[in-house]
Amino acid sequence: MHPRLQSGASGPALNLSNPHMGKWRHTVALPFLISLSGCIEITTYVSPAASGTVIDATSKKPIQGATISVDDHPGLFAQTNSDGRFVLVPTTRTTHIFVLAPYRSLPPGGTIVVFADGYVSREVVVNNGADPLLVPLVRVR
């Protein structure tokens, strides 16, 4: 033990209860503890995700150039490729939040509208973009 800290040692005693030291510890410790506890950046999905194939209902052949749009989200759309396949990527929003538990966002469900020239449009309800869709379209007569 340090000689000045021993009881009965000669000389001035070391003052361990400095009032400014306690404030300094809290000033430094609080932001550090908050950073460890879960102030994070999260990405939240604000529109549905979907993927799948659009086919002709009668011939079962893929429909190239079909448009897939999202109800309530104008400007968000995808088009099918030569195999009739499409991927509709959801829009996202980034937010900084304080969380004590892990957070995972899934794309919300919603309604997509599938249409192609010469075919009747079709609305399809999607749930979290989990499974690929098979969307048959009927030809206009």
When the pLDDT of each residue in the chain is averaged and rounded to a whole number, the result is 75
The percentage of residues in the chain with a pLDDT greater than 90, rounded to a whole number, is: 33
The overall pTM is greater than 0.85: no
In CATH terms, the fold of domain 42-137 is Immunoglobulin-like (2.60.40)
Neighbours of 104 (CB within 10 A): 6
Query: pLDDT tens digits, residue range 27-38?
Result: 666 666 555 555
Q: What is the mean pLDDT of residues 56-82?
A: 91
- Residue 107 predicted with pLDDT over 80: no
Domain residue spans of the chain: 42-137
Q: What is the rounded distance in angstroms from the CA atom of residue 7 to the CA atom of residue 80?
A: 85
Sign of the alpha-carbon torsion through 57, 81, 74, 131: positive
Q: What is the rounded distance in angstroms from the CA atom of residue 28 to the CA atom of residue 33?
A: 9
Residues near 112 by beta carbon (within 8 Å), at least 6 away in sequence: 48, 50, 68, 69, 70, 71, 88, 123, 124, 126
